Amino acid sequence: MAAQWIDGREIAKAIRLGVKKEIETLARKPALAVVMVGENPASKVYVRNKIKACEEVGITSIECTMPTESTEERLLETIRDLNASSTIDGILVQLPLPAHINAKAVLEAIDPNKDVDGFHIFNTGKLFTTGEGFKPCTPAGIIELLKATDMTIAGQHAVILGRSNIVGKPMAMLLLQENATVTITHSQTKNLADFTRQADILVAAIGRAKFVTADMVKPGAVVIDVGMNRDENGKLCGDVDTEAVKEVAGWITPVPGGVGPMTIAMLMVNTLTSAKTRQ
């Protein structure tokens, strides 16, 4: 029997509706500043989708677009101005940044209380210790996707492919908070499929098109595909060979329409949380 789809679009839509209703009760509309440096086509699409979501829920979006040749100091100056603004609740710097700009320095210049992406070292530290602070949007969205299945996360063995600071590591922390047993695998893991076949929950976040094949998946597992790649025909695909894996898995996320919409929905949640705290 083929796997059931986990419809990220529908789950995200319900979350955005909840955010919209809550915003209507606030004295002031939340405001999100989106900073983009350069002309990266993928970044432009992501920024456009974020701004569209802001409009839908009632968040004021301020777009700060800077030319590719902008200096790191100029960008840091922009962030300092946004930090100081009493009307800005969230600051998001769209990655990747041009090679001449130190992304770590830029992300750590953002006021942790406005760090709605959850990338600042202060919020990362909170995530690894108390579990408080802003949670990175993609892992937070994946937890919501898992809760939409009929699986109880507690006690399950979750295997993560990838150890990035944006998805892999925070994903492990959030799953631990839900009382899953967590294994992180990566490019140096030996006998990788031995680990993936043990997974009740398999999160693929390595950026390699159709890398996860049916023989790597435990029958009935929940498979979350974070990847956003192009296949040999230039068609959008994830890190999972969906057509093959859906015959083995119990639940699976599509690409597109799975994790992507959830990332943006959780950004709206974080911006609302910041606005409520500040108001």
Among the options 111, 117, 225, 241, which is catalytic? 117
Joined together, the tokens standing for residue 174 give 């959030």
The answer to whether residue 50 is catalytic is yes
What sign does the CA torsion over 173, 96, 133, 11 have? negative
Marked catalytic residue, from 89, 94, 115, 135: 94
**94 included as an active-site residue:** yes
- For residue 223, which of 126, 158, 152, 150 has the smallest C-alpha distance? 158
Show the 3-state SS of the chain: CCCEECCHHHHHHHHHHHHHHHHCCCCCCCEEEEEEECCCHHHHHHHHHHHHHHHHHCCEEEEEEECCCCCHHHHHHHHHHHHHCCCCCEEEECCCCCCCCCHHHHHCCCCHHHCCCCCCHHHHHHHHHCCCCCCCHHHHHHHHHHHCCCCCCCCCEEEEECCCCCCHHHHHHHHHHCCCEEEEECCCCCCHHHHHCCCCEEEECCCCCCCECHHHCCCCCEEEECCCEECCCCCEECCECHHHHCCCCCEECCCCCCHHHHHHHHHHHHHHHHHHHHC
Catalytic residue among 50, 114, 169, 246: 50
Provide φ and ψ at 207, rounded to 5°.
75, 35
CA atoms within 13 A on the CB side of 157: 12
Give catalytic residue positions.
Answer: 50, 94, 117
